[in-house]
């Protein structure tokens, strides 16, 4: 799984170095190429309505010549990325605003997207996110328009070895965010399958935008499971569930409760064995922070992204060891045994509470910590206790290697009857 930082709100195209340095210094190795930096959605919305919107001749020329200007506009960004060894696996294509009513810009968008796909190859992108087109003619007309549109991209996508990713959409209707094109997971799955059949190969995939799912009040577990392996990218961003926003995950919370259902998202991605592009978009959070605090913010962003990767891939961590020993005989140990006890049975568990030594907990013998030193072979020691760092240091002082953290926050099921802490 690739952890990717969205460059939205972080990279400033005329002077991209500082943003790129902040991304790299935080530990990110990958970022997105945001192709709407050159042609923002609100400018594209004005295309052809110059008198109405008051654009100048210069504005008209710049928008109409955008496809030919992609290379020169992003030249500095690519140069800095090459210098800093920052890869660009995914690009986001130009799009109209979510609540657009315009249906007359198909040819303009087609020209832009074809050139964007060609540029992707130069930038090293293997995928590009291109939002479905809006239609006011109902579901059947919507599919007809988009099928025709996406299939016109097949040849150039194949020629440049680029996969086209559709995204789930929402739109603003009378002040309320409602579901739009591809926000129904079954519809989206049918679209992807039909496009790939028509293309004669897997040239299309799906990008799951968590922010859109949250705004549309969707069950993200069901959404992910329905689309399954069609999901090639996931955009992680937080919002309040009412308005469009791209905030750092876990930062939009009230009364200690997250507004985004991370539980169902992680369970869903874990269920399908997601191994694609995990894209962190914190555009609004980055914009609100002082540039002086940006390096520290980016380090937190990287830690958050890695946390999601760890949670989604938690079973891979269990698979890599010949044997397992747990540290902790409490609630988290119970939850481990409930979810993974049969598939990945531990040798035993240990605990710092001497009163538990020699007893049996959830079918496991409870031993003193020193028992770990006698275990031979490739054995992973999984800390099942919230005092991770304290116990980790204890194990390191004992000379123990292969120390892992087990976290039961997002397990498929868990015990609600909590044991009292001693």
CB 327 within 8 A of CB 379: no
Over range 80-94, report the average pLDDT.
96
Radius of gyration for the alpha carbons in the chain, expressed in angstroms and rounded: 24
Cα–Cα distance for residue pair 311/236, rounded to 1 Å: 14
Angle at 233 between CA 212 and CA 153, to 5 degrees: 95
Give the per-residue pLDDT at 227: 98
Q: Say if 374 falls within a structural domain.
A: yes
| 198 in the same domain as 280 | yes
CA 9, chain centre distance (Å): 17
Whether 118 has a pLDDT exceeding 50, the answer reads yes
| 180 in the same domain as 198 | yes
Give the per-residue pLDDT at 254: 87
Give the per-residue pLDDT at 243: 87
Over range 375-395, report the average pLDDT.
94
Location of structure tokens 């006011």? 136
pLDDT band of 258, cuts 50, 70, 90:
confident
pLDDT band of 180, cuts 50, 70, 90:
confident
Give the per-residue pLDDT at 199: 97
Global pTM exceeds 0.85: yes
Last residue of a domain, one of 312, 334, 365: 312
Cα–Cα distance for residue pair 410/256, rounded to 1 Å: 17
Q: What is the CATH number of the domain that holds 359?
A: 3.40.50.720
Give the per-residue pLDDT at 105: 84
Location of structure tokens 């986001």? 92
| 69 in the same domain as 118 | yes
Q: Say if 166 falls within a structural domain.
A: yes
Give the per-residue pLDDT at 260: 93
Q: Which position has the higher pLDDT, 46 or 217?
A: 217
Over range 70-80, report the average pLDDT.
90
Give the per-residue pLDDT at 53: 52
| 338 in the same domain as 224 | no
Give the per-residue pLDDT at 422: 46
Whether 55 has a pLDDT exceeding 60, the answer reads no
| 390 in the same domain as 303 | no
Query: What are the tens digits of pLDDT across the range 316-363?
Result: 899 999 999 999 999 999 999 999 999 999 999 999 999 999 999 999
User: In sequence order, what are the residues at sequence separation of 6 or more whose Cβ sits closer than 8 angstroms to the Cβ of residue 397?
Assistant: none
Q: Which position has the higher pLDDT, 205 or 416?
A: 205
Q: Say if 417 falls within a structural domain.
A: no
Give the per-residue pLDDT at 140: 83
- Proportion of the chain above pLDDT 90, given as a percent: 73
- CB-side exposure of 121: number of CA atoms within 13 Å? 12
| 304 in the same domain as 326 | no
CB 343 within 8 A of CB 411: no
| 75 in the same domain as 16 | yes
Whether 239 has a pLDDT exceeding 60, the answer reads yes
What sections of 91-215 are H helices per DSSP?
106-123, 138-151, 154-159, 185-199, 210-215
Over range 249-261, report the average pLDDT.
90
Type and span of the H or E element at 18: helix 17-25
CB 183 within 8 A of CB 147: no
Last residue of a domain, one of 291, 312, 333: 312
Last residue of a domain, one of 266, 283, 312: 312
Q: What is the CATH number of the domain that holds 27?
A: 3.20.20.150
Query: What are the tens digits of pLDDT across the range 123-140?
Result: 999 999 999 987 776 778
Could you tell me the two tokens for 211?
């922010």
Over range 406-415, report the average pLDDT.
74
Whether 63 has a pLDDT exceeding 70, the answer reads no
Cα–Cα distance for residue pair 249/397, rounded to 1 Å: 34
Over range 19-23, report the average pLDDT.
96
Whether 176 has a pLDDT exceeding 90, the answer reads no
Q: Say if 421 falls within a structural domain.
A: no
Give the per-residue pLDDT at 174: 75
Q: Phi first, then psi: what are they for 232, rounded to 5°? A: -105, -15
| 366 in the same domain as 225 | no
- Burial code of 316-347, b = ≥16 C-beta within 10 A, e = fewer? eebeebeebbbbbbbbbbbbbbbbbbeebebe
| 222 in the same domain as 283 | yes
Q: Say if 278 falls within a structural domain.
A: yes
Over range 137-149, report the average pLDDT.
88
Domain count, the chain: 2
| 357 in the same domain as 274 | no
Q: Say if 208 falls within a structural domain.
A: yes
pLDDT band of 170, cuts 50, 70, 90:
confident
- Strand bridging mode 323-327 / 349-350: parallel
| 331 in the same domain as 234 | no
Over range 96-103, report the average pLDDT.
81
Cα–Cα distance for residue pair 31/20, rounded to 1 Å: 9
Whether 57 has a pLDDT exceeding 80, the answer reads no
Whether 169 has a pLDDT exceeding 80, the answer reads yes
Q: Say if 341 falls within a structural domain.
A: yes
Determine the structural domain holding residue 264 and report its residue range. 2-312
Cα–Cα distance for residue pair 93/36, rounded to 1 Å: 7
Average pLDDT, the chain: 90
Could you tell me the two tokens for 293?
């605090």
Strand, coil or helix: what is 290? Answer: coil
Number of H helices, E strands in the chain: 18, 18
Give the per-residue pLDDT at 153: 98
pLDDT band of 408, cuts 50, 70, 90:
confident
Whether 416 has a pLDDT exceeding 80, the answer reads no
Could you tell me the two tokens for 269?
């991605």
| 86 in the same domain as 99 | yes
Q: Say if 360 falls within a structural domain.
A: yes
């Amino acid at each position: 799984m690739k952890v990717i930082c969205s460059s939205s709100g972080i990279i400033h195209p005329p002077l991209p170095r500082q943003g790129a340095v902040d991304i790299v210094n935080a530990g990110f190795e990958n970022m997105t190429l945001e192709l709407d930096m050159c042609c923002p959605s609100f400018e594209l919305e004005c295309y052809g309505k110059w008198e109405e919107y008051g654009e100048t001749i210069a504005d008209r020329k710049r928008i109409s010549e955008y496809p030919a200007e992609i290379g020169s506009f992003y030249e500095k960004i690519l140069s800095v990325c090459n210098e800093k060894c920052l890869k660009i696996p995914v690009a986001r294509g130009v799009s109209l605003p979510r609540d657009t009513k315009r249906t007359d810009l198909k040819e303009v968008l087609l020209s832009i997207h074809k050139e964007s796909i060609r540029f992707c190859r130069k930038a090293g992108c293997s995928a590009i996110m291109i939002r479905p087109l809006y239609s006011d003619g109902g579901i059947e007309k919507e599919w007809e328009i988009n099928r025709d549109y996406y299939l016109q991209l097949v040849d150039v996508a194949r020629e440049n070895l680029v996969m086209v990713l559709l995204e789930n959409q929402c739109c603003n209707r009378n002040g309320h965010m409602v579901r739009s094109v591809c926000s129904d997971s079954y519809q989206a799955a049918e679209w992807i399958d039909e496009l790939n059949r028509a293309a004669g190969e897997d040239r299309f995939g799906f990008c799951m935008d968590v922010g859109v799912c949250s705004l549309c009040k969707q069950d993200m577990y069901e959404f992910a499971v329905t689309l399954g392996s069609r999901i090639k990218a996931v955009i992680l961003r937080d919002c309040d569930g009412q308005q469009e926003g791209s905030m750092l995950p876990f930062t939009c919370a009230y009364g200690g409760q997250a507004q985004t259902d991370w539980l169902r998202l992680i369970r869903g991605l874990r269920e399908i064995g997601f191994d694609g592009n995990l894209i962190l978009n914190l555009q609004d959070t980055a914009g609100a922070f002082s540039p002086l605090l940006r390096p520290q913010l980016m380090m937190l962003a990287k830690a958050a992204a890695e946390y999601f990767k760890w949670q989604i891939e938690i079973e891979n961590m269990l698979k890599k060891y010949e044997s397992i020993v747990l540290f902790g005989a409490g609630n988290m140990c119970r939850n481990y045994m409930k979810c993974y006890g049969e598939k990945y049975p531990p040798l035993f568990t240990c605990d710092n509470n001497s009163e538990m030594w020699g007893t049996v907990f959830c079918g496991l013998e409870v031993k003193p910590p020193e028992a770990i030193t006698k275990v031979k072979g490739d054995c992973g020691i999984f800390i099942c206790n919230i005092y991770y760092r304290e116990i980790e240091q204890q194990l390191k002082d004992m000379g123990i290697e292969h120390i892992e953290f087990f976290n039961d926050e997002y397990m498929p099921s868990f015990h609600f009857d909590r044991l009292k802490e001693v």
